[in-house]
Each structure stands twice: as C-alpha cells, then as structure tokens.
Amino acid sequence: MKADAAYFAAFVICAGSAAASDFCTDLQNLQASVGGVELALPGTSNAVTCTQSLMLSGGTQLNCGWPFAYRAPQAADTFEGLVVAVTQCLGDGAVVTTDLNVNHPDFYDLQTFRAGGQEIGVSLKDKAALSETYVFLRVTFLPK
C-alpha cells in the first residue's frame, strides 16, 4: 500500500491530461458505487478499498486512505498533488475551504471542496502513535 501511494504521488505531480481525465472520471463514477469500492490509484493498476457509509442527513460518504512512513515527504507531495487534481476535476465553480488550525499534537491539514452536490475533502494527518502519516480522500454525496 505504501508503494502504491508513492506511485500516486508521482502521478499527481507529473500527470498528463489523459491520466487526469481518468482520475476525474473515477471521481464522478463514485456516486453510483455501492458498498466497499475499489479505487485504482491513477497511473497504476493497483487499487485501494475505500469504505462507504451512510450519513444522518441521508447522504453517503466514501473514505479512502493511503499510509506513508511518519512525516515522509511523499505524503506531503501526494496531499498537494491530490489537492491540485481535485481542483482540476471540479473546475472553477468549486468552493474551497481550508480548515482552521486545531490544537492537536500531530500535524493536520484539510482542504474541502464543494461543487455539484458533493463535498470532497483531502487531508494530511500525522499519527505519531502509529508512526505513520496518512493522506485521506473523503467524498460526500449530499442528498438531493
């Protein structure tokens, strides 16, 4: 899984328009998915299983996570590249919010995008107790 994340970081930073288009198509197709979702990392044939859950508001949420060694530079690169990729997929109409600083001993960063009845969160979280850093993708489909 950690090697997959490194490939993902390389993809996002060096992606061509065709590969970026595939990632955007995958994001669009997530809403039709039911249960655990296999999401192929862009630029690789490897997939990660994302979990889907129901929200109290009636919407659904999909969560994917990529582990890295604690504070590995590749985690920050993947986070930044994923923010760029999601921005490109959603276009100029997306509203982007940067989360406020939190009083937490580990590092945490969250960018939230809202467009077209969905909310996409990209986060970078250090987990010192686990000696790992995670990049998370959260896609929330709001009820219509």
Q: What are the pLDDT digits (tens) for 47-77? A: 667 888 888 877 788 888 888 899 999 888 8
Instruction: Grade residue 14 by pLDDT with cuts at 50, 70 and 90.
Output: very low
Query: 20 pLDDT exceeds 60?
Result: no
What is the largest distance, in Å, between two alpha-carbon atoms of the chain?
Answer: 40
CB 87 within 8 A of CB 113: yes
DSSP classification of residue 34 = -
pLDDT reported for residue 85: 84
**pTM for the full predicted model:** 0.76
Percent of the chain surpassing pLDDT 90: 15
* Strand 95-98 relative to strand 118-127, pairing: unpaired
Give dist(CA 42, CA 78) in Å, integer.
12
